[in-house]
Chains A and B, each alone.
Chain A
């Protein structure tokens, strides 16, 4: 077969680009020097992530309070009904001491597992709230925002974990994220959880994530007699 000149040129270019050095990718701006470029330190990264988790928890608290105005459970109703969240299967330290005693890798893994487990249920929550007439658009927007924040937080924590690994602070035992699979929010009986239950559980879990991150930061970045 005869190849015309343009075809040959195209082929050459393609071959060249197979060369990894020729590959065009996005390079960080700060790659070539620290001058004038602020690379966030691990402490900064942790601060950002913790701030984000605080906002997320605050949002979940607001939504939960709004829900309670609609449902108005009786005084003892809340406590009596034991809500088993779908994340109850994940073993989480239930106190400050327990969390401090946990290894860094495990703590990181727990955080990531929790965040991953909430990816789909939050989306489902937003869908469900958007369809219902009881809630105004603010609530459903908050639910959407909450889902986005959880997603961003997960990405952020993954970056932090990556950085920690690079700095050698984490061992290689973080099998991580492959193990964390998205879970379906099902209660014991297998039924789908209601919106109120989802909000209750997420409020609790977001508080867990926030506190775990703080403990982790304190252990990774020692400061203030932490």
Chain B
């Protein structure tokens, strides 16, 4: 309630005060009344001792006396229609005229002191009773107070219904209702309810008095379906138990399986602990395995090298025409755009893209001859030196410095076969493959600079070296770049154009270009390289001493008419089993 209606809403009957107004109210916004009290001044209780004067704050401000002192009611001043002006400020004063004292004053506007009369004709009808017979709904109706002119709309009323269980202390309140009826839901059948209603003007705050209460009561009807809930409970209980059982079985499934279906014992290898196999060190494993009869001699009949490299060749024709080493290093001749021609094998387990595996440039670099000391991780050969028992390659530093095979220019790549030979070991234990062996003796000594630096550019996209560089490298054939030159970045401007669309350059210097170009006349410049070296002997440290192979005719593997056997020196290059048998401790 806002303060502009304070005056009428607080029946101020405090007797300890002096004479004061106790309130002014209007019932229908057409007339109003004011009441006062003499308070503690008992000598002023005679009628006429205190008088009310009012003033309407209009243009004429003049104090006038109360137009009508109600005869029937004590201390009441009644303003009828003539004297009531709505939307006008009134001020009333309580004066004692003989003494000319103003005991109290109050100001208001009539529309703010309107308290409507209570609605009439409150009644109720039963809407429905719930199935269980425990609850019921009623519809409560009433009529607006007769004093309020609602037909014309001079007063627009809103109503508020209260109800409570009979003789309870707390009334339930429903929302304001503009109509003259409202439903009450959820009442209990065995209880008696009291319902009453009051109203106020819309958009004003003063409620009128409550109407008389009515009693609402519905007797409880014994339900015929009292058994119904019991059976329902039983059914739900059974279902719940079944669900619990199922859940129990599923949660304990493993244990039950073990109980009912005992597992078959797993096979074991005598003397070998499976855990050690999983977690043990390689030395232990090595000793362990070698103590077993695992290494049968016939195991070595298969070529161990085969296990490491898995390459599929789509074309049998291709296979015939180019050596495996070329495939290994990806030098294809017929317009393939991939330098490293790892043809995709569908069951290789790689990603679904066709793109072949692209080894790191570092790895590539390390593949190339003379690249010692770098690239510990070769994709082709496993890293650990101890994983290949008893196949130690000579690890002397001398080998690193001066590779056994000379480091020819790139074209020697061309002659690389399917299998690559280990040329030396890096200090870190990696294996360096050599593309093959040349006839020429190892020329390069460490530290010797070569004017004609063959520079390789490994393109940033990793695996591919452009044909240009290969060509130029081939052009720069002369003897050998040092191993330390390794592979420096190739200046792009030296490359003629960009052939990197997969085409091969038909070079003017046909004589220089070896087998890169299919159309080029096959002019092998370099002698072919043998891929395998005969193991000469095994020294005390279980290292293999290799000897250079015999020279071979220079055959360009790309020459369409020539055919280079895939593994020319097979019998010579392999470690025969009986040789290996000598290595067994």
A residues with a Cβ closer than 8 A to B are 50, 54, 57-58, 61, 64-65, 68, 72-73, 75-76, 78-80, 82-83, 92, 94-97, 204, 207-208, 211, 214-215, 217-218, 224-226
Contact = CB atoms under 8 A, between A and B. Distances in A.
Nearest to A226: B152
B397 interface: no
Interface in B65-108: 81, 84-89, 91, 105-108
Contacts of B105: 76, 80
Determine which residue in A50, A97, A207 has the highest number of CB atoms from chain B within 10 A of its CB, and name it.
A207
Q: Which 5 A-B pairs have the closest CB atoms?
A: A79-B107, A214-B153, A94-B85, A61-B203, A82-B57
B203 A54 contact: yes
Given A94-B85, A97-B81, A207-B87, 7 more contacts: A76-B107, A78-B107, A79-B107, A96-B30, A204-B87, A207-B111, A226-B152
A70 to B, nearest CB: 12
B4 interface: yes
B151 to A, nearest CB: 5
B153 A68 contact: no
Nearest to B152: A218
Contacts of B202: 54, 58
Contact of A94 (B57, B87, B205): B87
Interface in B142-180: 149, 151-154, 156
Given A65-B2, A224-B151, A225-B151, A76 B106 contact: yes
B7 interface: yes
B3 A68 contact: yes
A45 B89 CA distance: 33
B236 interface: no
B91 A75 contact: no
Contacts of B6: 75
A50 B3 contact: no
Contacts of A82: 57, 89
B149 A96 contact: yes
Interface of B: 2-4, 6-7, 29-30, 57, 81, 84-89, 91, 105-109, 111, 149, 151-154, 156, 202-205
Contacts of B156: 54
Contact of A79 (B30, B89, B151): B89
5 contacts: A75-B3, A95-B30, A96-B86, A217-B153, A218-B153
A78 B85 contact: no
Contacts of A65: 2, 205
Given A58-B203, A61-B204, A94 B154 contact: no
Contacts of B203: 54, 57-58, 61, 207
Contacts of A204: 87, 109, 111
Contacts of B205: 65
A204 B112 CA distance: 10
Given A95-B81, A96-B30, A226 B154 contact: no
A65 B6 CA distance: 13
Nearest to B106: A79
B25 to A, nearest CB: 15
Nearest to A92: B87
Contact of B4 (A72, A78, A218): A78
Nearest to B61: A82
Nearest to A82: B57
Nearest to B88: A94
A202 to B, nearest CB: 12
Nearest to A217: B153
A68 B2 contact: yes
A52 to B, nearest CB: 14
B87 A215 contact: no
Contacts of B2: 64-65, 68
Contacts of A95: 30, 81, 84-86
Contacts of B153: 50, 211, 214, 217-218
Contacts of B7: 79
